[in-house]
Amino acid sequence: MRYALQVQYVGKNYAGSQIQFENGMEKALTIQGELEKALRTLICGNTADENNKRPVKTYFSGRTDKGVNAYGQVVHFDTDKQFVASKFLYSLNEILPDDISVSEMKLVDKSFHAQKSAKSRHYRYEFITRKSHNAFDGDLMRVKFDIDIERMQKSLNYLLGEHDFSSFKSSGTLNPSRVCFIETVQAEKVGDRVVINIAGNRFLYNMVRTIVGTLLEIEGHNLPPEHMKNVLEAKDRKKAGKTVSPYGLTLVKVDY
């Protein structure tokens, strides 16, 4: 049987979502590692084979980096056991660390795959627009110069549709494909925060954070919104802005 989970987490204390091994041992604390450990405890109990380090293997809709949060991460796993979802979720959330939780669990068809079946992913990036520090800012990035939200939206509009996003990828991108389709992208100002929502079929490594860095370069240097178009068409990472802090980036939803 195959089950799908909707997982939330605060990424600050983890080395990303994806489990990492070195010489056959987990080398860092990850979301996947903690989730699999909790699932192993519930499903296998004391019967887990010590020679099998991953008796329960999970598959995520996509990888998130250190510091990135998720509200709607989707994960699937296979088991030969059947569970009552409400009871299983209660027990699972009691075992998981306080900064990881599971809000939904459902039985899915064997053809479902958390990553390969996904049609689109929705990310949100938030940052503060204020010169002075506030105790409730948390880890969000603070921008001290003025932001013109209408200009910012004009810059973002150039990203809509299907493009080669090579200018916005980091060197760690393993997938050779650089083409992504951006369905929607919107910037809005909520009090002293700027919220950028972006949805697309796929995203390259650090792509959203580099897009935000380019936006801030445009605003900070009063460049025309068309600069975003020029960067996009250049297909050259050196033309884009910096890759900004992961804090403030959240995987909001995955659609199937």
| Residues known to be catalytic | 65
Which residue type sits at 156? L
Longest dimension (CA), the chain: 63
CA 94 to chain CA centroid, Å, is 24
Q: Which residue has the tokens 């919104």?
A: 225
Instruction: Dig out the tokens for 62 from the structure.
Output: 């996509």
Question: 180: closest CA among 208, 217, 155, 149?
Answer: 208
Distance CA 161, CA 154 (A): 14
